[in-house]
Structure 1
Amino acid sequence: MTDFHYFAVPTATDPGTLNPVYELLDFPIAMGKAEDIVLTGPAPEKPLVDGREVTDPRLIKALSVPVELDRAEVLDRSSKLAGVLRAMGVVPESGAKLTIAEDVPPLARALGLLAAARVGLVVDLRAGSGVATSGAGAGVGADSDQNTVVLHSIEAEPIEPGRASVRVTRSRFEGVGVTIGSETANLDQAMRDSRVEFAAVVPLAPDHTLLLTDDGEITAGSSLDWYRNEVLSAS
């Protein structure tokens, strides 16, 4: 197992606690690596500036390039999403599971995986778990278990900045929603709501399950290389 910086040091009777997201984001930032590019995504189809679609052809050309996020922004966006999930009542300790629909953009998917790991929320990546959805909450609804959390696309215009409770910050979740039971939230709005607190990293037991895959479970203690190879573009 790759060495971790343990929150609680292992002993003969206690396996200790750790978190892979701390190793990939929090600790490197503390070591001065906040500006390293660690996540890349495709060029946006409709470039935005402060939540507004760009119409100037020169700006469109300048902004239609692959998106690069540094470690500081990845930490900021993933910890904010984790805070949004907590504010919506998601309690990982209760057995809640996150599924990510196939229509979720790559950047939002990656940030969702990191947000879940930050607070110990299990993500179900098995075939068929991320059924594509369209519209707000399609395929999930009142009959869904309250512990089932679904990240999916929604039909929604970007939120205009200017409201007191909304930060003029690129959410990275334009056109993405989250449904819990019968409640669906527009993440473009929720991610820029200044009233939602960022989630602190949660210490996890090494055998805590973080991912359900077709090849089996991946625990916190064995997940570091998976997140490096499957989520981050570079670390």
Structure 2
Amino acid sequence: MHEGGWSMGDLTDEDLNCRMFARDLGAVCVNVDYRLAPEHPFPTGVHDCQDVVRWCAQNATPSSDVLPADPSLGFIVGGASAGGNLAAVMCQLSRDGGLKPPLTGQYLCVPALLWVDAVPEKWRSEYHSRLNAAHDPVLKLMPNGNDGLMTVLKPETWSPLFSPLLHPNLKGLPPAYFQLAGLDPLRDEGLLYERVLQEENSVPTKLDVYDGYGHMFWTNWPEMDRSQEFVDDTLKGVKWLLSQGA
């Protein structure tokens, strides 16, 4: 599920990852082109992605002409930024709805997980990056959350469909692999979700943090050594997710 603030982006954004996972891991990848705001405000994109996940669950079999895959060997959702948000939401909706076969992993890359105006008091001491990461070279967010994005997307920021950290039950979710950037305004909500999943809900997690780098740095400056390390880590992390679902 691609990035773009729920209002930009297309299938090309995740094409390289899909090719890499197919080539190096033997995975069958479904690249999701969900509808975007402002023409399609929240939660249209959520429902589009949910429809795709359900379709995959219904159609993926080793003998299928449409989706020749075996979900019992691993059934993973993932994405970056807004796509990471949607992946986290898919795991919650799929668990709550009793999806069969179930999802076995989630790849959460610099995900948006908790909007700044919906942070509960218990987490405020751990939620600083949205307020302090003003120098991120890519993602320019208002510290008070009153961004132009809110005008076009029209989300319910307190809803778990937009802020999945607010779901009242985070137990029984599939293992999660996180890639977070140290200068990213979204850093702390990723760190929070990883901690809450692992420490409070016994969900297996794997975490890589890239100190000193900003949101989506590997796509904007792919020539950097650290960007290549990021891509290598992505492959290792998804391979780890597949090992958890086996």
- Of structures 1 and 2, the one scoring higher in RCO (CA 8 A, sep 6+) is 1
Q: TM-score, normalised by structure 2?
A: 0.26
Q: TM-score, normalised by structure 1?
A: 0.27
Q: Which is higher, the Rg of structure 1 or of structure 2?
A: 1
